[in-house]
Amino acid sequence: MDRTRLSVNINKLATLRNARGGNMPDLLRSARDIEAFGADGITIHPRPDERHIRYQDARDLKAVVKTELNIEGNPIPSFIDLVMEVRPTQVTLVPDAVDAITSNAGWDTIKHREFLSGIIKKFQAHGIRTSIFVDPDPQMVEGAALTGTDRVELYTESYATAYAAGDKEAAKPFALAAEKAVSLGLGLNAGHDLNLDNIAHFKQSIPHLLEVSIGHALICEAIYLGLENVVNMYKYRLQ
């Protein structure tokens, strides 16, 4: 299988920094270190209340990240303006409510096709790769393809929950959605609740997986195992 790229979401490092004020941990140094440890990209998900990643962080990281910068978020006007200013490598559109603690659903790409198409066209015109966060539903993948997006990101919380409960078929819906994406010419990403315990099985079950975005679990695991070690443990499992 081809190697799947690892993008590390650093939202939790920003949460830790914001808890005490000041600049510890230093987000920019952390991003540089994570890249040096072998990560293929940095992901951030700024929210309107800036409770973790701030909009200014996105601007600052653009000048620091040497691999790929992926900005996730709900395409409200302020988010669209930020993306157009920063011009990341990739933007991942996520239908978060303003008060969402974390992402909890994929897009209804059929209902919101026209809305998403207009935003995607705008980003692509400025050389920004686009991805839509979707549930593992072939219909939603088909709807995503009709928007003109470059990729979809499969929302993997249900996989992680089922796998932890011992379900040997946990990855089956994702494999079907992945097959549909590839047949339609879409690139395939995945993320949410993936961790060191479940990532290898997911990788083995999902062909053509280009990228995973992992944050919360990776940072938690790094508390015990060390950040450099954990980044390389993920990369090994993704080979």
Residues acting as catalytic residues: 45, 72, 192
- In contact, 30 and 13? CB cutoff 8 Å: yes
Q: How far is residue 53 CA from its own chain's centroid?
A: 14
The CB-based long-range contact list for 125-131 (8 Å cut-off, 24+ gap) reads 126/84, 126/87, 127/87, 128/83, 128/87, 128/88, 128/89, 128/90, 128/91, 129/89, 129/90, 129/91, 130/90, 130/91, 130/92, 130/93, 131/90, 131/91, 131/92, 131/93, 131/187, 131/189
